Amino acid sequence: MAHVKHMKWWGWGEEGVHFEYANKPAFAPFVKHALDVDLRPRQRDTIDFATVNVPASRAENALLEALTAITGAEYLALDDELRIVHWAGKSVTELLLTRAGDFARVPDVVVYPGTEDEVAQVLRLAVERDFVVIPFGGGTSISRSLQPDPREERTIVSLDLGRMNQVLSIDETSGLATIQAGVLGPDMEEQLNARGWTLGHFPDSFTHSTLGGWAATRSSGMQSDKYGDIADIVRGLRVVRPGGTVVLRPLPSTSTGPSLREMIIGSEGRLGVITQLDVHVHRIAEHREVIAYMFPTWQQALVAMREIARSGVSTTFARVSDAHETAFSLSTQKAPATLKKKVTAKGQDLLWEVMRRRGWDTDAMCIAYVCFEGSKAEVQGGKKAVAGIVKKQGALVLGAGPGALYDQKKFDTPYLRDFLLEQNTIGDVSETAAPWSRLTTVHQAVYDAAQRAFESQGKTGWIMSHMSHSYHAGACLYFTFGYEIGEDPHGEYAAIKSAIQQAFIDAGGTLSHHHGVGLEHSPWMEQDVSPEGVQLMRSLFAAADPGGHFNPGKIVG
């Protein structure tokens, strides 16, 4: 589809972009140490689409004609590659299935409506002709929020919002922008930046995900400490349903009963299709600095993060890696290629020396990054206040150098998963949020559970974590884990991923802080929001979509 950019059908991001390790001398030894995997040179740059078999479209001609009458033939796609692009998100399970060409059920047709009215016509048709609609933003979901039920007998239509990609207006007095749901992160920021504004919402998926997708899956960006979760950012919505359009005007706050806004956010397509949003926008900050700090221990780091959150100091983000992730992070540093970088590397050696002299256990230390935005004075004030807090917890201030590095590579991580899959190795993520008082418990419980699961599967596994997204009452813990694939890729993955998810719940965390539910996390819904909570949610979905036409089976079955 000429008008809409899509990711590669077989993995993350753009064709031709890959994770590289040749320039990261510590990476291969790290992988050997952590996963007992010997990295080989990259085998292939892409996967030939001709190698997979795609189930034929089941859409009947009459239905295709009716859809064509709505969008025009130009915006209807039946070809196999586009149907596979739309068949699922980028979870490990979906990537494994895609690479194996194991497509139980894929969308029969992709439609690209250009207007809200066209969306409405498609939804009305879905009820009339009894087909299924799965709304599609950028396709970055890692919670299986897009993958159709393999048993679905009805026609499946993937509704791609990609043509609805404009910033429609900015209310500069109120700091509100009205934006179409299908806009990709970078396209939206470009339109906002051109007028001096930003949304400030940067999830890891940013380059390939959409505003509507962020709202539909309850996203949170890495800068949520300043800019808020998507539920804070979105103030108004237009949501097309077969019976009409829910229009929630942009309001700072309101007491109009149960929050429809908060019902639609996170609804993953089950309550209709979000077409337009009113969102908080901010003037681009004059100055921005990311400062790095090194803590002697994880416990001290968490205390500092909590005290930063409570201090009233305005930070854009505050993130700390545990000892494992700190070690990993150092392993992905590039070899110093320039004189300036060699000097920095030299500085790093000196730093190591300082830490050794202080008696630190270098296997326990944790690197943290805190971002400050504002006027020069505000940034200076923030840095000073945070330095005071972290020093009380024994940290060293490393300064702005490593912070700048952090800012550069922030959207590259998802490519690592495809690289590892090529190496017959899983690298995946799972995240939670919990009250401050539970964070060390959750962290330890997840490490223990993962270790037991690795052992039960006969694996040398690796797990690491960082804390980010601070709130008054707690924060997010984000885990990355890896292991070499054995004979039962899906069974092994399910065992290990499930052990981590279960540890979240058992230790007082939630099934996900910002990846949504989909099919992937649905099994933990009853434990997270209670059986009666699931019952209430199920009642809502059943009442709102009695025919089960809109992304059925997601969140709660």
Helix axes 61-71, 116-129, angle to 10 degrees: 160
- Judged by CB under 8 A, the residue of 89, 113, 374, 461 near a copy of itself is 374
Least separation, in Å, of the C-beta of 130 and a copy of itself?
A: 20
Identify which of residues 14 and 262 has a Cβ nearer to a copy of itself in the complex.
Answer: 262
Distance (Å, whole) CA 270 – CA 274: 11
Least separation, in Å, of the C-beta of 223 and a copy of itself?
A: 14
Distance (Å, whole) CA 59 – CA 153: 11
Range 201-230, binding a copy of itself (CB under 8 A): 217-220, 229
Identify which of residues 193 and 530 has a Cβ nearer to a copy of itself in the complex.
Answer: 530
Distance (Å, whole) CA 6 – CA 15: 10
Binding mask 237-276 for a copy of itself (x = CB under 8 A): ----x-xxxxxxxxxxxxxxxxxxxxxxxxxx--x-----
Least separation, in Å, of the C-beta of 278 and a copy of itself?
A: 8
Identify which of residues 123 and 421 has a Cβ nearer to a copy of itself in the complex.
Answer: 123
Amino acid at 112: Y
Range 175-194, binding a copy of itself (CB under 8 A): 175-176
228-244 burial, b at 16+ Cβ within 10 Å, e below that, comes to bbbbebbbbbbbbbbee
Per the CB < 8 A criterion, the answer to whether 218 and 516 are in contact is yes
Q: Which one of the spans 74-82, 323-331, 410-418, 428-436 is the region binding a copy of itself (CB under 8 A)?
A: 428-436
Identify which of residues 176 and 222 has a Cβ nearer to a copy of itself in the complex.
Answer: 176
Range 113-142, binding a copy of itself (CB under 8 A): none
Per the CB < 8 A criterion, the answer to whether 303 and 208 are in contact is no
Least separation, in Å, of the C-beta of 201 and a copy of itself?
A: 14
Range 12-51, binding a copy of itself (CB under 8 A): none
The token pair at 87 is: 């068949």
Identify which of residues 149 and 528 has a Cβ nearer to a copy of itself in the complex.
Answer: 528
Per the CB < 8 A criterion, the answer to whether 355 and 365 are in contact is yes
Distance (Å, whole) CA 261 – CA 242: 18
Per the CB < 8 A criterion, the answer to whether 90 and 12 are in contact is yes
Distance (Å, whole) CA 28 – CA 42: 12
Binding mask 453-492 for a copy of itself (x = CB under 8 A): ----------------x-xxxxxx----------------
| Conformation bin of residue 111: beta by default, left when phi > 0, alpha when psi is -120 to 50 | beta
CB atoms within 10 A of CB 257: 6
- Judged by CB under 8 A, the residue of 23, 46, 193, 535 near a copy of itself is 535
Radius of gyration of the chain (CA): 24
Is 447 part of the annotated catalytic residue set? no
Length in residues, the chain:
557
Range 504-533, binding a copy of itself (CB under 8 A): 508-517, 521, 525, 528-533
The token pair at 162 is: 């990609």
Identify which of residues 333 and 512 has a Cβ nearer to a copy of itself in the complex.
Answer: 512
Half-sphere CA count of 330, side-chain side, radius 13 A:
19
Q: Is 159 in the site for a copy of itself (CB under 8 A)?
A: no
Range 79-98, binding a copy of itself (CB under 8 A): none
Range 287-316, binding a copy of itself (CB under 8 A): 306, 310, 312, 314
Catalytic residue among 75, 227, 478, 493: 478
Range 377-416, binding a copy of itself (CB under 8 A): 378
Report how far apart the first and last C-alpha atoms of the chain are (Å, whole number). Answer: 32
- Judged by CB under 8 A, the residue of 65, 102, 171, 455 near a copy of itself is 171
- Judged by CB under 8 A, the residue of 354, 424, 542, 557 near a copy of itself is 542
Identify which of residues 251 and 404 has a Cβ nearer to a copy of itself in the complex.
Answer: 251
Cα–Cα–Cα angle for 513, 222, 249, rounded to 5 degrees:
75
According to DSSP, the residues that pair with 134 across neighbouring strands are 158
How many residues belong to the site for a copy of itself (CB under 8 A)? 88
Q: How far apart, in Å, are the Cα atoms of 530 and each of 271, 499, 516, 522?
A: 21, 19, 17, 12
Half-sphere CA count of 366, side-chain side, radius 13 A:
25
Amino acid at 465: S
Least separation, in Å, of the C-beta of 362 and a copy of itself?
A: 28
Least separation, in Å, of the C-beta of 373 and a copy of itself?
A: 10
Residues with active-site annotation: 478
